[in-house]
Amino acid sequence: MKKITLILFSITALLTIGCEANLTDKDNLFSDQEALIEDLNSELELDRSQETIVRTRLHESRELHAHPGSLWKLAASLADILTEEQITKLLEGIKEGKFHDHGFNSFPDHEPKHKIHFEKKVEYLESLLDESQVETFNGIITDFNTRRETLETQWKNEEITFEVFKANIFALRLFMKASINNLLTDEQKELLEAKKEEMKSDKRHFGKHAKNPDRFKEEKIRALDLSEEQLEQFETLMTTFKTDMENLQLQYKEGNIDTDSFISSSVELMLTKKSNHQEILTEKQITIIQIHHALTVKAHKRYRYSTKG
């Protein structure tokens, strides 16, 4: 009898702990959502009907993150309910974003790109290196940071367009990734990939979604109401883009092109891909994508990024 009582007590305790954790997580979630709603409300002066729709779209998804469907659904709804003046004001907020803020919507879509996540990856990489790799690695990081700072200054001073800024973000990330891949051994690469998966799983509201990247694609397709013809066109463009990027990275690895050429060529490929996408999309679909990006910049400042690693 004592054993049965002890077992029942243990089960009850575990369930209670689990419920408390879920409630805490839910409280944090709704706190994030309300903060985002308040941002939108104060900036756009939403009327009661608009605010109700915004709150409904966020709450029904039960999540707040720069990628999941809560923001794609919200973006689609905002495209329908906001006035032209409100949409213009919302899109102006994109200018507030910095390098890592805009990285959220750069290829590949499903990978986390928060500044803290980036810094933790760099920190872990340093722990993997042997003495012969350290100098080269430090040079890569210094080069990356110098180029990033120059790019951010150009963006801040409005010397470059938003699309050029985003294309360069993609190119600099790719430069760093390719340079480090060229430096690491196969064993170090395996350890890094395992660490990246662990880091994604530690992120509140990210781990479960990161394990299902197709979810992001599905939510985007629904929000944009993409046709089968559009999807086929996008698939063809993506196949060509990936092939071109792989060839470019191979040239860089084999030393046939230098860093400047690699980065500038990456930028051109991304801009070409973006331009081709624009030709396929309708004006409304383009507006939804722009609104979604403006929302990610805001959400980026609101959701609580874990500091576990």
Those residues with Cβ within 8 angstroms of residue 114's Cβ, 6 or more apart along the chain or in another chain: 100, 300, 305
How crowded is the C-beta side of 159, counted as CA atoms within 13 Å? 8
Is the Cβ–Cβ distance between 235 and 128 less than 8 Å? no
Tell me which residue of 28, 17, 23 sits closest to 305, measured CA to CA. Answer: 28
**What would the pLDDT profile of 41-87 be if each residue is shown by its tens digit?**
989 999 999 999 988 887 776 665 555 566 888 999 999 999 999 99
**What would the pLDDT profile of 87-143 be if each residue is shown by its tens digit?**
999 999 888 777 877 765 554 554 555 566 677 778 888 888 899 999 999 999 999
**What would the pLDDT profile of 7-35 be if each residue is shown by its tens digit?**
444 444 444 444 443 434 444 444 567 88
Does 254 have pLDDT greater than 70?
yes
pLDDT at 297: 84
- In the chain, pLDDT over 90 holds for what percent of residues? 50
